[in-house]
Amino acid sequence: MIQVEIGFQVLEADWSRDESAIALVRRQVFIEEQAVPEAMEWETQDPACDWFVAKDGGGAIVGIARLTPDARIGRMAVLPGWRRRGVGTALLQAALAKARQKGLPQVSLHAQVHALLFYGRFGFQARGPEFEEAGIPHREMSLVLTE
């Protein structure tokens, strides 16, 4: 668990317990805010992923992230009222800590172009050209965890 002084904590989620709350954040951020088609948002691999949630002082989930079995970080989402308060940073740190704990040599992700600098601060390097995913510009990024 990562405890943060500004009113939230990041925990590893239990998919069977937290699935509906995770889905609410995904719906609000990706489907409603970013207009990702609903059919593209839900995936059968979700239960097999390691999920991380940021919870406010009342226990409500305000941010999410996942680490897939094939070492991809994704579904990083923070509710609008919680952005720029360290939630995304804490979620990414939790996912990276889990990847290191698993002994993964590297992780990768598809970063929305506006978030390239955020991931770059953690050492992620952009690879390849810009591409669209769900109508949103992205770049592939990766981070080597072991040298």
pLDDT in tens, 37-73: 887 887 777 889 999 999 999 999 999 999 999 999 9
Scored b (16 or more CB within 10 A) or e, 130-147 reads: eeeebeeebbbbbbebee
Q: How does the average pLDDT of the chain come out, rounded? A: 90
Is the pLDDT score of 101 beyond 60? yes
138: closest CA among 76, 70, 53, 93? 76
Is the pLDDT score of 141 beyond 80? yes
* pLDDT given at position 41: 80
* pLDDT given at position 27: 87
* CATH number for the domain harbouring residue 114: 3.40.630.30
pLDDT band at 34 (very low <50, low <70, confident <90, very high): confident
Domain that holds residue 52: 2-144
Q: How many domains does the chain have?
A: 1
Helices (H) and strands (E) in the chain, counts: 4, 8
